Amino acid sequence: MTRPSFFGLILIAPALAMIAALFLYPLGFSLTSAFTVPGGGFSLTHFEKAIDLYSTDILFTLFIVITSTLLTALFSIAIAGTLTLGETPWLISSLRFLYRWPLFIPFIVAAQCMRTFLAKNGLMNNSFVAMGIMEPLQATSFLDWRGIIITFVWKQVPFVTLMLAGAMASIDRATIEAGRNLGASRLRVLIEIVLPQVAQTLLVGLVLSFVTMLSVLSVPMMVAGSQPTMMTVDMAFRINSYGDYATANALGVISYAIAGAVAWIYLRHNVKREIAA
């Protein structure tokens, strides 16, 4: 297994061909427009412009996506952990029934639901007021960065949980029993025995979530006002208002670099793990 497998290359060829034809080739045009000036050669002008105008938005995007990813991890672990280690059958079965629903809601609909749910006079605050938990005057709007994060987490937790709960269900129950028999609390079993065994799945799910959230346009567009906003909104704005594909593509390259960096960190970690094993 030391030299590259020719057979392996044949197996991966159709998938690669598909990406090459439907993505890399068209992407070439975009990269060209991002890195050149009209009639001229190589240039970083568009990147300068992108940074100059949208540096705040780039940082804002990073903040939103990283925070959402961390929260998604936290909630997914909690739910999947309860599903695996819980000892109350009715709780587990209701939880299993409940958690998946947001998976089926497209982002654009999630955005629309949240816009009317999280608003100052939205359904959430109205329900709290009706239940007597809150005074009407205390109502605040969540339609800003918090709204974006809530929507992302709401939408991505079921995705990661679905993968994570599956992985947890398949680990050797004996390891869990052993921990429990030694008297470890369930939280401790979850963190010290279960999680290390499913870390791989968790990371795949989180990387995919991270990249997905980075590319969503409708949520930042519909949930929060535009100052500051996420990079996808800026890209759409550049194209729709100025017909300026070059700067939009430059922003796209930055976005892809962020996604690539995260994927690379994950894959490095993976390689180290394989070597260690």
Partner 1 sequence: MSIETQASTAIRQGSVPALRGVASSSRRGFSPFAVRGWGVLSTILKGLGLAVFAFALFGPLANLALWSVAERWYTPFKLPVTYGMRYWEVVFRPTGDAMSSLATSVSIACLTVVVALAVSVPAGYALARLKLPFRTVLMIVFLLPQAFPSVAIYINVARVFYSLGLTGTIPGVVLVHAAHGLVYSVWIAAAAFAAVDKDLELAARNIGASPLRTFFTITLPLAAPGIMASAIFVFLESLDEFTGTFFVGVPQVTTLPLLLYNASMGGNYQIASITALILLVPSVLFMIFIERFLKADVLSKVGQ
Partner 2 sequence: MHKSLLAAGFTAILLTNPASAQTLNVATAGDQNMVDYIKDYLGPMFEKSHPGVKVVAVGTGPGDGGSQKIFEKLDAQKKAGANSDFDVVVIHQKAAGTMVKDELLKKYRDTLPTGKLVTRDTANNSLGADVSGYVMPMFHSQTAIAYNPDLVKAPPNSYAELSEWVKKNPKQFGYNGIKGGMSGVAFVTGWVSAFGGDAAKLETGPYDAATKATWDKAMSDLKEFNKNVVITPGNAGTLDMLNRGEIAMGPVWVDMFYTWKAEGKLPPNTRLKLVSPGMPGQPMYYAVPAKTGQEKLAAEFIALATSPEVQAEGIVKRFNWYPGIDAKNVQPKLEKADWDKLFVDITPEALAANGKPFPIGPYFNDILETYEKKVAN
Q: Which residues bind partner 2 (CB under 8 A)?
A: 53, 56, 115-116, 119-122, 141, 143, 221-229, 233-234, 236-237, 239-243
Question: For residues 57 and 72, which CB has a smaller minimum distance to partner 2 in the complex?
Answer: 57
Q: How far is the CB of 272 from partner 1 (least distance, A)?
A: 11
Question: For residues 72 and 151, which CB has a smaller minimum distance to partner 2 in the complex?
Answer: 151
Task: List the single partner that 119 binds among partner 2, partner 1, none, CB under 5 to 8 Å by kind.
Answer: partner 2
Rounded to whole angstroms, the Cα distance separating 134 from 132 reads 5
Task: List the single partner that 138 binds among partner 2, partner 1, none, CB under 5 to 8 Å by kind.
Answer: none
Question: For residues 85 and 223, which CB has a smaller minimum distance to partner 2 in the complex?
Answer: 223
For the range 25-34, what are the long-range contacts, defined as Cβ-Cβ under 8 Å and sequence gap of 24 or more? Answer: 30/245, 30/249, 30/252, 31/249, 31/253, 33/245, 33/246, 33/249, 34/246, 34/249, 34/250, 34/252, 34/253
Amino acid 22 reads: L
Task: List the single partner that 213 binds among partner 2, partner 1, none, CB under 5 to 8 Å by kind.
Answer: none
Which residues make Cβ contacts (< 8 Å) with residue 238, sequence separation at least 6? 244, 245, 247, 248, 251
Task: List the single partner that 243 binds among partner 1, partner 2, none, CB under 5 to 8 Å by kind.
Answer: partner 2
Q: How far is the CB of 239 from partner 2 (least distance, A)?
A: 6
Question: For residues 37 and 106, which CB has a smaller minimum distance to partner 1 in the complex?
Answer: 106
- C-beta separation of 114 from 150 below 8 A: yes
Alpha carbon dihedral 223, 227, 233, 238, in 10-degree steps, equals: 150
Q: How far is the CB of 138 from partner 1 (least distance, A)?
A: 16
Nearest CA-CA partner of 163 in 88, 77, 66 = 77
Nearest CA-CA partner of 157 in 224, 71, 228 = 71
Nearest CA-CA partner of 156 in 207, 222, 195 = 207
Question: For residues 128 and 266, which CB has a smaller minimum distance to partner 2 in the complex?
Answer: 128
Task: List the single partner that 229 binds among partner 1, partner 2, none, CB under 5 to 8 Å by kind.
Answer: partner 2
Q: How far is the CB of 43 from partner 1 (least distance, A)?
A: 18
Q: How far is the CB of 243 from partner 1 (least distance, A)?
A: 12
